[in-house]
């Protein structure tokens, strides 16, 4: 019998292969968008609340990553401050709009919105507000999860219904990927691994496109070499 730690690794492998098979075109579209943004000296914003903010943290000031990445986060929406409060605040309208007003994205920029459920006000409002400013939007979200829940935003929309490009993370409903016959709750979350892998894959392809077009990508080198 396969142990659960081994099974989890196998689950991750299957998930990543599924993403590569079904989301390759969307990732290519996103990489080409990033290339165009960088070519015109624009900014690639990344934002999410709760655990979804980890993608923005991973992308920023990252060895092997692009200098053009600009994270957007609020301490109050990070789980490091107050996890339960971040869950409450991501449902409140107005926070995302006020946050974007500080950064003033425009038609030279794009915004990647990360939200597993795609149902809360923060992520939805980010997409709506950014688009109203002329900024291109990309969603990293679970279509399976979003399709099984209602929006918590007054528009009635979920994130995948709003963004210019939507990349499905293929994360199962509820995030937890494993179960045990003698335990009622599912476990083994996969959303962070999925979304970080997608984002880094898109960055790798963006760098390749830059090189193919005789441009030198601005890539950060590890400070510990």
Tens-place pLDDT, residues 43-101: 999 999 999 999 999 999 999 999 999 999 988 899 888 899 899 999 999 999 999 99
Structure tokens given for 24: 């390759």
What is residue 155's three-state secondary structure? Answer: coil
Query: In the prediction, which pLDDT does 82 show?
Result: 87
9 domain residue, yes or no: no
pLDDT score, position 81: 82
Quote the pLDDT of residue 2.
82
**Is 1 within a domain?**
no
Residue at 224 is within a domain = no
Can you give the CATH number for the domain in which 119 is found?
3.40.50.10490
Residues 6+ positions from 95 with CB-CB distance below 8 Å: 74, 77, 89, 121, 122, 125
From first to last of its 225 residues, the chain has per-residue pLDDT tens of: 789 999 999 999 999 999 999 999 999 999 999 999 999 999 999 999 999 999 999 999 999 999 999 999 988 899 888 899 899 999 999 999 999 999 999 999 999 999 999 999 999 999 999 999 999 999 999 999 999 999 999 999 999 999 999 999 999 999 999 999 999 999 999 999 999 999 999 999 999 999 999 999 999 999 999
Number of domains in the chain: 1
Instruction: Please tell me the distance from the alpha carbon of residue 57 to that of residue 48, in angstroms, as a whole number.
Output: 10
User: Is 64 within the bounds of a domain?
Assistant: yes
Q: Cβ distance 33 to 165 under 8 Å?
A: yes
Q: Report yes or no on 72 lying in a domain.
A: yes
Backbone angles phi, psi at 180, to 5 degrees: -135, 135
CA geometry: angle at 198 spanning 192 and 203, to 5°? 125
Residue 223 lies inside a defined structural domain of this protein: no
Domain extent at residue 89: 14-212
Number of Cβ atoms within 10 Å of the Cβ of 183: 9
2 domain-assigned: no
Give a yes or no: residue 56 inside a domain: yes
Stretch (H or E) spanning 72: strand 69-72
């Amino acid at each position: 019998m396969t142990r659960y730690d081994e099974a989890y690794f196998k689950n991750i492998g299957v998930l990543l292969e599924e993403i590569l098979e079904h989301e390759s075109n969307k990732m290519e579209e996103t990489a080409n968008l990033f290339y165009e943004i960088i070519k015109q000296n624009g900014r690639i914003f990344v934002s999410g609340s709760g655990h979804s903010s980890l993608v923005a943290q991973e992308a920023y000031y990252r060895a092997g990553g692009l200098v053009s990445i600009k994270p957007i986060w609020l301490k109050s929406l990070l789980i490091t401050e107050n996890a339960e409060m971040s869950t409450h605040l991501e449902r409140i309208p107005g926070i995302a709009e006020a946050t974007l007003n500080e950064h003033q994205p425009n038609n030279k920029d794009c915004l990647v919105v990360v939200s597993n459920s795609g149902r809360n006000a923060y992520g939805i409002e980010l997409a709506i507000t950014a688009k109203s400013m002329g900024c291109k939007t990309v969603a990293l979200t679970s279509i399976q999860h979003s399709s099984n829940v209602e929006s918590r935003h007054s528009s009635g929309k979920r994130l995948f219904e709003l963004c210019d490009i939507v990349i499905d993370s293929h994360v199962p409903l509820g995030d937890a990927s494993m179960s045990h016959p003698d335990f009622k709750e599912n476990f083994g979350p996969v959303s962070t691994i999925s979304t970080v892998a997608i984002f880094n894959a898109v960055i790798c392809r963006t760098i390749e496109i830059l090189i193919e077009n005789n441009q030198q990508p601005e890539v950060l080198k590890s400070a510990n070499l």
